[in-house]
Each structure stands twice: as structure tokens, then as C-alpha cells.
């Protein structure tokens, strides 16, 4: 993840060098060489994703690809804020690092589970969760697409909801490889710590509209952004709503920045008329730069 842009661009190497100074470990080595079990740990995964996606954004910008607005899914919202100038690369990385450490420890202190329900309408998933609420606090945690909702809760509750979803006609119910129930009320015990972290962070008015996970609307007020970042830990990611809001605001061309094409696939499910590009390495950057 990011090895080709690291090899090709001095500016990217500088970002990884700065990251090593801030984090106290060699992020480039872990990102490019692993070991895989280390990279899977939240405390390393989140900084790796942030630095890689931010580096790609700067390279796109330098090639003349200008964003009208930004949005990010979960952790990606922090990269979106950096892209929009709400904080600089270094400040954003420090916030990501603290968030990752908190979330890593939350899985040990407050274990939980998450699962993706595919092929079942949103309201049906909500009804299933409500139906077992008295026994298990399972809730929708990512509204990803019309036929894809992620749920979060205690392990037994998520397993029960998965079984109910399959019986109700879901095409698939996939357990996610996480150790905690992110974006759910089970994160309340660490929300206070996270909110305290955010009080120490300087947030500037963004220069681009940032469509926030919690509201699915663009937010520019720094204090509102601070509040919503804290709320994001315990409330669902409204990804489908965010894309629909962007479409309603006249945005129909999207570029997914980072490894993988998961978000591109979700946007296609939300609206097949969108133009969607993807940037994960030098070849993509050269193509997109040629279109600018």
C-alpha cells in the first residue's frame, strides 16, 4: 500500500519521514513490508491508511485534479478534513494516532462485533435490530448502500442478527474482522476520552465542503466539526445519505482515493449514473492527471 508512490515521489517520502518522527515507528516499513498481522492492528492500520490516502490526494492536486467537496468513510473523514484544510497533515496524523490507540484499547476493554448485511432493505435491517433490542443492543452502524448495512453490537447479538437477516432473505451476512462494535453505543465508555482529545485540537474552517458521516450534510463550523467527530464514534456512518446529499448539490463525479475500490462499488449502488474514478497508485494518478 503506497510503495509505488513512495518510490516515485520525494514529496511522498517526506510525508512518511514526518510520520515516522510523529509516530515513533517506521510506518513506511510496516506499510510496505508488514508483517501482515502487525498491519492489521488498528494502531498501525489507521495511520497507514491516513498517510497513504493523504499522499495520493496531494499528488492528484499537484496534477491539476481539484476537488469541489470531500467526504470520508469513518477514518476517511479525518483524511477528508486534512484535504479540506481543517487541519494540516501533521495535526491530522496526531489525531488519527490517538484515535487508533483508543480504538485498539476499546476492543480489549469493551469487546464487540460488526457484520455486513447484504441484499436486505435498510428498513428490514433496522426492524431486525429493534426486534432483539431488549436482549442485545445491536444497531445499524454503517448505512453504506440501499442493500448494504453494517451492524454493531455484542458478539452474541450480532450473530443472532446475522441469522435472522439470512432467514429474512438477506443474500449474505458477513462478520467483519474487528474486535469492537464501532459506531455504536457500545463505544460510549471511550467517547469521553476521544472528545477530550478533540478539545486540544485546532480545527480551521475547511476550504471545501466536508460531508460529515453523522449528518450526511456539509459542515464548515469548526466547533460543529469537533462535536460531530466525537459523535461519529457512537453513531452510524451515513455514507449513502452523504452521497445522496452530494448528488443533490450537483456533484456527480467522484474519485475514490486509497487502496481498494469498496467505496466506488457503494457509490455505484447508490447511483449508477455517477462517474467514478479511483486513485491508488502512480498509474491511476497519471490517467486522472491527463483528464484534468
Q: How far apart (Å, rounded) are the C-alpha atoms in residues 174 and 171?
A: 10
DSSP structure string for 200-263:
TS--PPPSS-EE-TTTSSEE--HHHHHHHHHHHTTS-B-HHHHHHHHHHTT--EEEEESSSSHH
Residues 73, 97, 183, 278: which is the catalytic one? Answer: 183
Q: Is 184 a catalytic residue?
A: no
Residue 61 belongs to what H/E stretch? helix 42-62
Return the closest-CA partner of residue 138 out of 118, 163, 119: 163
Dihedral sign from CA coordinates of 172, 53, 101, 196: negative
Question: Could you tell me if 271 and 46 are in contact, meaning their C-beta atoms sit under 8 angstroms apart?
Answer: no
Q: How far apart (Å, rounded) are the C-alpha atoms in residues 134 and 130?
A: 8
Q: How far apart (Å, rounded) are the C-alpha atoms in residues 142 and 152?
A: 9
Residues 53, 74, 242, 280: which is the catalytic one? Answer: 74
Q: Is 259 a catalytic residue?
A: no
Positions annotated as catalytic residues are 74, 183
Amino acid at each position: 500500500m503506497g510503495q509505488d508512490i513512495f518510490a516515485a515521489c520525494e514529496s511522498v517520502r517526506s510525508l512518511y519521514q514526518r510520520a515516522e518522527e510523529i509516530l515513533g515507528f517506521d510506518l513506511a516499513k510496516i506499510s510496505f513490508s508488514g508483517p501482515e498481522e502487525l498491519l492489521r492492528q488498528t494502531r498501525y492500520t489507521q495511520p497507514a491508511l491516513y498517510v497513504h490516502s493523504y499522499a495520493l490526494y496531494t499528488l492528484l492536486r499537484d496534477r491539476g485534479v481539484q476537488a469541489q467537496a470531500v467526504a470520508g468513510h469513518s477514518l476517511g473523514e479525518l483524511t477528508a478534513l486534512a484535504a479540506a484544510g481543517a487541519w494540516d497533515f501533521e495535526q491530522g496524523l496526531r489525531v488519527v494516532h490517538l484515535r487508533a490507540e483508543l480504538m485498539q484499547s476499546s476492543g480489549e476493554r469493551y469487546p464487540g462485533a460488526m457484520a455486513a448485511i447484504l441484499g436486505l432493505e435498510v428498513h428490514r435491517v433496522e426492524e431486525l435490530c429493534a426486534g432483539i433490542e431488549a436482549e442485545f443492543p445491536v444497531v445499524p452502524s454503517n448505512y453504506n448502500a440501499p442493500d448494504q448495512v453494517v451492524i454493531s453490537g455484542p458478539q452474541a447479538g450480532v450473530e443472532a442478527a446475522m441469522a435472522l437477516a439470512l432467514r429474512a432473505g438477506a443474500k449474505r451476512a458477513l462478520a467483519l474482522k474487528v474486535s469492537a462494535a464501532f459506531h455504536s453505543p457500545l463505544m460510549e465508555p471511550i467517547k469521553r476520552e476521544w472528545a477530550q482529545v478533540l478539545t486540544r485540537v485546532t480545527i480551521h474552517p475547511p476550504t471545501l465542503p466536508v460531508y460529515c458521516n453523522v449528518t450526511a450534510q456539509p459542515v464548515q463550523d469548526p466547533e460543529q466539526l469537533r462535536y460531530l467527530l466525537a459523535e461519529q464514534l457512537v453513531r452510524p456512518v451515513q455514507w449513502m445519505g452523504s452521497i445522496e446529499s452530494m448528488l443533490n448539490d450537483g456533484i456527480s463525479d467522484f474519485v475514490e482515493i486509497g487502496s481498494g475500490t469498496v467505496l466506488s462499488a457503494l457509490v455505484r449502488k447508490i447511483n449508477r449514473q455517477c462517474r467514478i474514478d479511483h486513485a491508488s497508485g502512480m498509474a491511476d494518478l497519471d490517467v486522472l492527471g491527463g483528464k484534468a
